[in-house]
Amino acid sequence: MLWTKGGGGKIDYVEVLDTTLRDGAQTRGVTFTLHDKLRIAEKLDELGVDIIEGGWPGSNPKDEEFFREARKLSFSNSRLGAFGSTRRPNVKPSQDPSLNALLKADVPVAIIFGKSWILHVIDVLRTTPEENLRMVADTVEYLREHGLEVVFDAEHFFDGYRESPEYALQVLKQARDAGASTIVLCDTNGGTLPFRVGEVVRRVRREIDTRLGIHAHNDCGVAVANSLVAVTEGVRHVQGTMIGLGERCGNADLTQIIPNLALKMNYSVLKNSEGLRKLKDVAYYVAEVSGFQITPNYPFFGVNAFAHKGGVHIDAMLKNPRTYEHIDPSLLNMERTLSVSELAGRAALVNHAAKLGLVLTKEQVASILEKIKRLEAEGYHFEPADATVSLMILEAVGYDVERLRVRTWWVEVLMAGKITARAVVSMDIDGEAVTEMAEGVGPVHALDAAIRAAVLKRYPQLESTQLVNYKVSVIDTKDATAAAVRVFIEFSDNGNRWATTGVSKNIVEASLKAIVDGYSYKLLVLDGGFTSRSQADNGS
């Protein structure tokens, strides 16, 4: 499974607890609807995580409703867990409203956190260390007596262990003796470094024979590393969130931990054997509903994770992908991308042409690269604009890429009580003159609507083609509002996505170029309609 040889069979299984719906929901700026939570739970089950921590019943109405609705779901791989705290000081478990709300959630697993740092025991709980130990034991026993599996989260364990290792270990032993199935060491403040995590876990393993877990936060940027180090030291239960959501700097990111465990460390992970290939879909779904987008350079699943730009890199990649990739991207349902740019050489262009079913001559490659370098010097950026590059290649080898030709266009913006934009465009579509007018909320929207109306007259099958992303970048700010701009537009249709770009000192003109190229690419490449100029001139 690794590019490098060796490994053999899987060495052990690591249980995964996903807390996106509880800890992840505490991310500042994130609000999951009830529907979001239920759908994420279904996707986590499809992925194959062992335990889904659904929330804290009794803490808010939405979590209570989630557990009621979740009973209607049918999980194939996952067990649903409810989160809660140890009983209150000097209160019997049966009289603690939080614990009774947890029982009413009707789940098989309870995830209970208790204090393992004396600072919190005294300053936050305002009780004695002895009473805190009794709270841990009483709570675990009470839930076990009611038939629940108990996962005990030792909150602030690494901070507590640093100040008083004896007391921190006493807390763990109370949970173990009371019947907790898993004892989780929490780096709640996210301030512990990997070497220290390794040292502490080794010591704990000598004292505690119950299954150990790790719950890391990312305040020092090492939550994933801390989780992996803990596994190497014997931990077999890992907690985290999808795309690293969580308070402050976030929780340990399961979308990075899971591939590393499976592909780098050779552990078995996830109940679904196809889970690795489903991880991308879950990550992007959570990103969409949370509003925390996956960055291009995001490990494993960013659009640049397996993208190559440098000419030397691309040439080597085409000879042997192992030269510049640490894993085979197909294992994660990802694709390799070879960028065409002023830095990329002949190999990237030849590879792009091959995807179109074309073979380029040396002269054609040289001509296209010269054009790319000239245009990028003017402000173009072709790396994400795959469709624009395709049209350049088709044009260079003699195909007619201007079946949609704009003859004239006109745009106005009116302010009469409300702002209205109106556009008129005259086009030649396969030699037939078409003129259309449309209105929009702005000049680019109106222009796109007019072009779309004109194109649909001749090609109604493009009805499902949608403009899904539109971005504008200023190329040189020294010219202020007179600066040239670069427009990037992304389109989608029936699962296909493609992007185009345009540059001009006039934002509408730059947009016009990118819009027309987007529809042209759909016709010429995706619908297989490109013909050579010689064929078009002969009317064949």
Sequence spans of domains, the chain: 13-290, 309-377, 404-537
Closest Cα partner for 441 from 413, 400, 416?
413
Decide: residue 142, CB within 10 A, 0-12 exposed, 13-18 middle, 19+ buried.
buried
**Can you tell me the mean pLDDT for 132-145?**
98
**DSSP notation for 467-515:** EEEEEEEES-GGGGGGS-EEEEEEEEETTEEEEEEEEESSHHHHHHHHH
120 classed as catalytic: no
Where residue 483 falls among pLDDT bands split at 50, 70, 90?
A: confident
**Can you tell me the mean pLDDT for 494-521?**
92
pLDDT value, residue 497:
86
- Residue 443, pLDDT above cutoff 50: yes
pLDDT per residue as tens digits for the range 355-412? 888 999 989 988 998 888 889 888 888 877 889 999 999 999 989 888 899 999 999 9
Q: CATH for 404-537, among 3.30.160.270, 1.20.210.10, 3.30.70.100, 3.40.720.10?
A: 3.30.160.270
Rounded to the nearest integer, the mean pLDDT of the chain is 91
Catalytic residue of the set 313, 326, 352, 381? 313
- Residue 6, pLDDT above cutoff 70: no
Do residues 420 and 414 make contact, with C-beta atoms less than 8 angstroms apart? yes
CA distance 228 to 124: 31
**Does CATH place domain 13-290 in 3.20.20.70?**
yes
pLDDT per residue as tens digits for the range 204-219? 999 999 999 999 999 9
Where residue 530 falls among pLDDT bands split at 50, 70, 90?
A: low
- Residue 307, pLDDT above cutoff 70: yes
Place of tokens 């009317």: 539
pLDDT value, residue 468:
86
HEC sequence for 192-245: CCHHHHHHHHHHHHHHCCCEEEEEEECCCCCHHHHHHHHHHCCCCEEEEEHHHC
Do residues 121 and 154 make contact, with C-beta atoms less than 8 angstroms apart? no
Identify the weakest region by mean pLDDT among 12-26, 226-240, 414-428.
Answer: 414-428
Do residues 204 and 233 make contact, with C-beta atoms less than 8 angstroms apart? no
Do residues 221 and 250 make contact, with C-beta atoms less than 8 angstroms apart? no
Cβ neighbours for 265, distance < 8 A, ≥ 6 positions apart = 228, 231, 232
pLDDT value, residue 2:
43
pLDDT value, residue 258:
98
What does the DSSP 8-state code read for residue 5? S
pLDDT per residue as tens digits for the range 221-255? 999 999 999 999 999 999 999 999 999 999 999 99
HEC sequence for 320-381: CHHHCCCECHHHHCCCCEECCCCCCCHHHHHHHHHHCCCCCCHHHHHHHHHHHHHHHHCCCC
Beta-ladder partners of 489: 470, 500
Decide: residue 123, CB within 10 A, 0-12 exposed, 13-18 middle, 19+ buried.
exposed
DSSP helix/strand/coil, 313:
helix
CA distance 235 to 311: 43
